[in-house]
Structure 1
Amino acid sequence: MTETLPGIFPTPTSMQLNGGTVALGTSVVLVQSAKTDAETIELVRQILANAGVTKIRTATRVPAKLDQSYIVIGTGNSAVLRDAASRAKAALPTEKEGYTLASTVEGNGNLTVLAGFDGDGLFHAAQTLRQLAKQASFPAVRIHDFPSMPVRGTIEGFYGAPWTMQDRDAHLAFLGRAKANTYIYSPKDDPYARDRWRDDYPAATLSELGALVHQAKRNHIDFVYAVSPGPSVCYSSASDLKALLRKFDAIRALSVRSFYVALDDIEYTKWNCDADKEKFGPSSDKAAAAAQAYLLNAVQADLASGGHDIPSLIMVPTEYYDAKETPYKAGLREKLDPRIIVQWTGTDVVPPAISIPDAKAATKAFGRKTLLWDNYPVNDYAQSTGRLLLAPYTRREAGLSSELTGIVANPMNQEAPSRVAVMGLTAFAWNDKAYDAELTWHAAAREIASDDPRTTAALLTFFDTQHLAPTFGTQPWQPQSPRLKTVLDRVRETLAHGDADARKAALKDLARQADDIANAPATIRAGVADKNFIAQAAPWLDAMQRWGSALQLTAAGLSAANDGSATARSLFADAKKQADEAAAVQSIPGATRFDGPIKIADGVLDLFIADAPGLIAVP
């Protein structure tokens, strides 16, 4: 067979064809090097089983002559890894979280080596094998890969209904598949992390959090616990510091190593206690910076003591967006422990774009490279009412890896649909210089569709109706339904300027497009195995089917009018009735911060249906 370079997401740092095709067959010999965690071995075994392998033998070495499929797996620099890599004309990885995956075909057998620089790298190698082994046979490749950014993942930091523990469990597994490495637990509506932050968690909740921490570890995700004391904290209070450390100690007992203090969305020019006025002076933005640095430095010092092996504390400042010089930012820059990581949301709360100069300005303003909190695809603000945000992750400049410590996405209240954009963000953070937004968008659709082509196409049609990306202003930073708009604009133009044959062809294309929209929801419901995606997207799928039906009637009305038939009037009337019903579909009450009517290709589809009766004279 002809070998073609496979599509792997995130795009590897380096990938080349190595000659030949690897056919695993039904029997594989697994050669395990030292220092290989059992869970990654189990993942590889499951990947092989899914690929049709029914028998897995183990061995300690690879024979000189291959007679079947061999897979060598491990970390470090053992002789068996060195020999296997050399045989496949590859070098062992040298970068943190990096891996080498290389195959060679010899005689009647083949050899694939999965070598990780560390345990995380080996897990990432297994995720690449998972993508390759979706086919019964795959081209032999030589991949050398490692991430551009140290921190990649999500922050559950939205307002409104938090994710369920089941949502979080599924999301952590998704992050592992996407080669992310960070999940920050910071739901605004967890009372024990914000309003009642001084209070201990109930035992049952701690048990649930412990299960999540275990799931994160299985998927090589750093579980970061965040507390938001800002609304009530007394920065100079020894008892409040003690309460904060006690909260972290309880979470550390669950094997959590990474911690975070959020000071966003608070009143920072008004003290919560008289003691802060006495210690830091009259309330002001600069005094707030000094007070916050005082508390955070004490927390960082405690975390770094006692041999806890704790990474740097992360904080989100009260001025978390833009990079303009202010007394507050200057105060943090001067007084905050340089080990503490500062988060920043970009040039705005929901930035339409982020450039390298933007990130450089943030580095200067905060006195350190920042960790980007990207407020996409979060939909907890008024401008996102009635929307799923399913456009590609884009307009972040290649090369940002040189100015950021990483990126985490703030996702939607709807966990499963959030993966469309988050997969783009994690792919960008892994390899920003080779990132392709459109190709990764398609890959996200295939992931949700379990690689079924018909379901993938239906999902991309659905995504296009949810393409608009709002900001806090009136101008969206991504347009609504660009694919559909192209079709509808072509119909308008052809009806205005085309001859009879061109008009018939355009109306035929319109009818096909209407069928695609009307039929996509049923295809998605039948083809997507993840029932959470179906449940969380349900009102959008309901509304899409109705809008598709309205467009079908509109297309039929235009064809009738083009043929000189008076039935066009009733068809247009039925289309309007169907469109009115579609526009009345409401979001799931309480699922997001703002309830309201569902938006489907708004400003594109609704306008075309409304304008259609006037495009051709009706008899």
Structure 2
Amino acid sequence: MILMAAGLALSASPVLAGTVTLPVVIPAPASIKLAGGALALGTSVVLVTAPEVDPETVVLLRKVLSAAGVETITTARKLPSVFQQPYIVLGTGENALIGDALARTGASLDTHAEGYTIASRPIGSGGLIALAGRDGDGLFHAVQTFRQIAAQPVLPALVIQDHPAMPIRGTIEGFYGAPWTMADRTRHLDFLASVKANTYVYSPKDDPFARDRWREPYPAETLAALGKLAATARRNHVDFVYAISPGPSVCFSDPADRDAMERKLDALRTIGVHSFYVALDDIEYTKWNCDRDAAAFGPSGAEAAGVAQAALLNAVQADLLRKDKASRPLIMVPTEYYDAKESPYKAALRKHLDPRVVVQWTGTDVVPPAISIPDARTATKAFGRKTLLWDNYPVNDYATTTGRLLLAPYARREAGLSEELTGILSNPMNQEAPSRVAVTGVAAFGWNDKDYDADRTWRAAARELAGGDAQAAAALMLFFDTQHMAPTFGSQPWQEQAPALKAALDRTRDAIAQGDGAARRLAIAELGRRADEIAGAPDIIRSGTVDPGFAEQSRPWLDAMVLWGRALQLTAAGLDAADRGSDAAFRYFAGAQRLAAEAAAIQTIPGATRFGGPVKLADGVLDRFIADAPTLIGSGKQDSGMSAERPVAP
């Protein structure tokens, strides 16, 4: 007899007939191997939980099982001698229960920090699934991986042994412009947990109490909201890091300013924040803010600034250790945060900064087109320690990103960087939900850079945002392609715009240019189908399966996509008419131009980003094709193989 798919009753035999395939897991595990056979959860399972498991991990597992169709979850304290239904064991470390479960599945525990093992095996008329974490974080990650596997109707017998390549992985809300709302941050913390990220840095440039008014205490209401956010982070096994930015006004040698900073961090500690960060970026560092710094550190300049900053940071680090021996190391971002060229400032930090302090670095530029292993090694030498990469992607708070969402895959970071970095933090966009597209890649690269596949992870991000709906995921991929441009501070982007659409439009141009009538008609028909997909994608994205925050924060771009799609529909109709020698071609092309102009005039959401303006969608690709289309087919003898005019709504 055969086990049935999830949601149906289990039969006597645990072995399923047919082919068993390796599941897709994002981030890619360090090791995943099929073990032979398969099992299904069915509608009823037994959960065996070790005493040390934290409640949020159990809650998450129960949600995963419910989503997989499990209706009844009974509990037990130990494993049976005879398995008549699926048993799931949850625990950490060297617990005897975990040891028993792993022994029965023939697996061993991954002992790296945040590591875990998942082992599944059909036994008797039931089966055993062991979710074993090296620590609580690892166990939580194991359940997040199981969430992806359990979404399939049948679970293959397998062994996953997994752990992160980089100890710090996540995001830094460090952009200019409208900060995220507390609701955005809460959703983002839930998302970070789902991709096994473990760090969120609160550092919005426009929080006055973190930067301009850093000495002042937070209003009680704001402090309470930050406390709730920190609690959400803990439930998600994410380290909530509070960043203070005193650089614009701090007097480094003034004990009163050091006391003010310590009071600020003490207040955050009372609401459950235990990780801290001092941001010294985007400040004038060749001029003192007070006369006493000149007396303490000498004439102002880059080297003196490095000495003064190190003195302040060392004092903060020492205070953290005095108050909490188990506190995480202080993180800082230096004033010279980009490139790794030797300088008096970097030399001063290297010489004077406490080696426990973590230093951030943005790569070879503020927005680097690529980051290599030699780049990171040079940064290690310059700062005297491995750096924590502040990756300014997909942030869109600078001028060349005006009108853009940055939805290309996370790419051009070299495999092997995990040997040279302490981790990666992505600086996301002002739009939280759209940021998840790239951040999924950042987290996956930080977890396993050597097996990272940018395109595969990109598609996985679309599936996740689409709630698993294949049609919605396909619509999102069309939209992502129109927002593929990745600018730098220079004139050349590091990722091109709309590569998939450009390839399709180039095929149309080529088919028309070759002069073969049949090929030309096929290409124009295919163009019409693609135009229909583009025009229809926004409605699919807004239909309810896609995360509603994504649809709302992308609203003007989706509005523009509808119009650009309709313009391309009319363009395809115009080419078809021109191919047949019909006078209707002019009318279609004129209508396409009007819609293109209307689409190009749509503005970003006021106040949502630092620089507002008209939204850009497949610019340089779609607009150019629509503009060129009337010139692609001239008048000539009418082809005998006429096709009927393609009906298109004006």
TM-score (norm 1): 0.99
Aligned to 1:163: 180
What is the alpha-carbon distance in structure 1 between the residues aligned to residue 30 and residue 535 of structure 2? 40
- Which secondary structure does the structure 1 equivalent of 2:513 belong to? helix
Per-residue CA shift, 1:114-144, capped at 9, x if unaligned?
0000000000000011111112322122100
Could you tell me whether the CA contact under 8 Å between 2:91 and 2:97 is conserved in 1? Answer: no
Per-residue CA shift, 1:303-322, capped at 9, x if unaligned?
11134421111000000000
What is the correspondence of 1:157-556 to structure 2 with a 5 Å cutoff? 157-556=174-573
What is the alpha-carbon distance in structure 1 between the residues aligned to residue 580 and residue 422 of structure 2? 62
What is the alpha-carbon distance in structure 2 between the residues aligned to residue 498 and residue 354 of structure 1? 45
Is 1:153 the counterpart of 2:164? The answer is: no
What is the alpha-carbon distance in structure 2 between the residues aligned to residue 555 and residue 455 of structure 1? 24
- Which secondary structure does the structure 2 equivalent of 1:305 belong to? helix
What is the alpha-carbon distance in structure 1 between the residues aligned to residue 546 and residue 444 of structure 2? 23
Per-residue CA shift, 1:331-377, capped at 9, x if unaligned?
11011111100000000000000000000000000000000000000
Deviation at 1:4, TM superposition (A): 0.6
Cα 1:204–1:618 change in 2 (3 A) is: farther
Query: What amino acid is the match of 1:397?
Result: E
Paired residue for 1:103, among 99, 103, 120? 120
Aligned to 2:639: none
Deviation at 1:488, TM superposition (A): 0.5
Aligned to 2:643: none
What is the alpha-carbon distance in structure 2 between the residues aligned to residue 254 and residue 390 of structure 1? 35
Aligned to 1:73: 90
Aligned to 1:45: 62
Paired residue for 2:143, among 119, 122, 126? 126
What is the alpha-carbon distance in structure 1 between the residues aligned to residue 345 and residue 559 of structure 2? 48
Query: What amino acid is the match of 2:619?
Result: D
What is the alpha-carbon distance in structure 2 between the residues aligned to residue 216 and residue 458 of structure 1? 31
Q: Which runs of 5+ in 2 are unaligned?
A: 1-17, 637-650
Could you tell me whether the CA contact under 8 Å between 1:34 and 1:78 is conserved in 2? Answer: no
Deviation at 1:498, TM superposition (A): 4.0
What is the alpha-carbon distance in structure 2 between the residues aligned to residue 64 and residue 504 of structure 1? 68
Deviation at 1:618, TM superposition (A): 4.6
Aligned to 2:624: 607
Deviation at 1:419, TM superposition (A): 0.1
Deviation at 1:508, TM superposition (A): 1.1
What is the alpha-carbon distance in structure 2 between the residues aligned to residue 259 and residue 419 of structure 1? 24
What is the alpha-carbon distance in structure 1 between the residues aligned to residue 425 and residue 157 of structure 2? 33
Deviation at 1:531, TM superposition (A): 1.5
Could you tell me whether the CA contact under 8 Å between 1:455 and 1:524 is conserved in 2? Answer: yes
Moved over 6 A (4+): none
Aligned to 1:136: 153
Deviation at 1:151, TM superposition (A): 0.0
Query: What amino acid is the match of 2:202?
Result: Y
Could you tell me whether the CA contact under 8 Å between 1:549 and 1:575 is conserved in 2? Answer: yes
Deviation at 1:188, TM superposition (A): 0.2
Deviation at 1:529, TM superposition (A): 4.1
Per-residue CA shift, 1:142-198, capped at 9, x if unaligned?
100000000000000000000000000000000000100000000000000000000
What is the alpha-carbon distance in structure 1 between the residues aligned to residue 399 and residue 364 of structure 2? 20
Per-residue CA shift, 1:437-465, capped at 9, x if unaligned?
00000000000001101000000000000
Deviation at 1:60, TM superposition (A): 1.2
What is the alpha-carbon distance in structure 2 between the residues aligned to residue 55 and residue 435 of structure 1? 37
What is the alpha-carbon distance in structure 2 between the residues aligned to residue 553 and residue 307 of structure 1? 66
Query: What amino acid is the match of 2:601?
Result: A
Percent identity over the alignment is: 65
What is the alpha-carbon distance in structure 2 between the residues aligned to residue 517 and residue 335 of structure 1? 57
What is the alpha-carbon distance in structure 2 between the residues aligned to residue 206 and residue 75 of structure 1? 34
Query: What amino acid is the match of 2:24?
Result: G
Deviation at 1:415, TM superposition (A): 0.2
Is 1:559 the counterpart of 2:567? The answer is: no
What is the alpha-carbon distance in structure 2 between the residues aligned to residue 582 and residue 8 of structure 1? 38
- Which secondary structure does the structure 2 equivalent of 1:183 belong to? strand
Per-residue CA shift, 1:187-230, capped at 9, x if unaligned?
00000000000000000001000000010000000000000000
Could you tell me whether the CA contact under 8 Å between 2:472 and 2:546 is conserved in 1? Answer: no
What is the alpha-carbon distance in structure 2 between the residues aligned to residue 108 and residue 501 of structure 1? 60
Could you tell me whether the CA contact under 8 Å between 1:449 and 1:455 is conserved in 2? Answer: yes
CA RMSD, 1 decimal: 0.8
What is the alpha-carbon distance in structure 2 between the residues aligned to residue 254 and residue 117 of structure 1? 28
Deviation at 1:528, TM superposition (A): 3.3
Query: What amino acid is the match of 2:475?
Result: A
Query: What amino acid is the match of 1:285?
Result: A
What is the alpha-carbon distance in structure 1 between the residues aligned to residue 102 and residue 419 of structure 2? 30
Cα 1:360–1:25 change in 2 (3 A) is: same
What is the alpha-carbon distance in structure 2 between the residues aligned to residue 307 and residue 580 of structure 1? 60
What is the alpha-carbon distance in structure 2 between the residues aligned to residue 135 and residue 497 of structure 1? 47
Could you tell me whether the CA contact under 8 Å between 1:264 and 1:320 is conserved in 2? Answer: yes
Could you tell me whether the CA contact under 8 Å between 1:528 and 1:534 is conserved in 2? Answer: no
What is the alpha-carbon distance in structure 2 between the residues aligned to residue 124 and residue 248 of structure 1? 30
Per-residue CA shift, 1:20-49, capped at 9, x if unaligned?
222101111011113111110111111111
What is the alpha-carbon distance in structure 2 between the residues aligned to residue 615 and residue 279 of structure 1? 72
Q: Which runs of 5+ in 1 are unaligned?
A: none
Query: What amino acid is the match of 1:513?
Result: R
Query: What amino acid is the match of 1:535?
Result: E
Query: What amino acid is the match of 1:294?
Result: A
Deviation at 1:51, TM superposition (A): 1.0
Task: Tell me the number of residue pairs that the alignment of Structure 1 and Structure 2 aligns.
Answer: 619
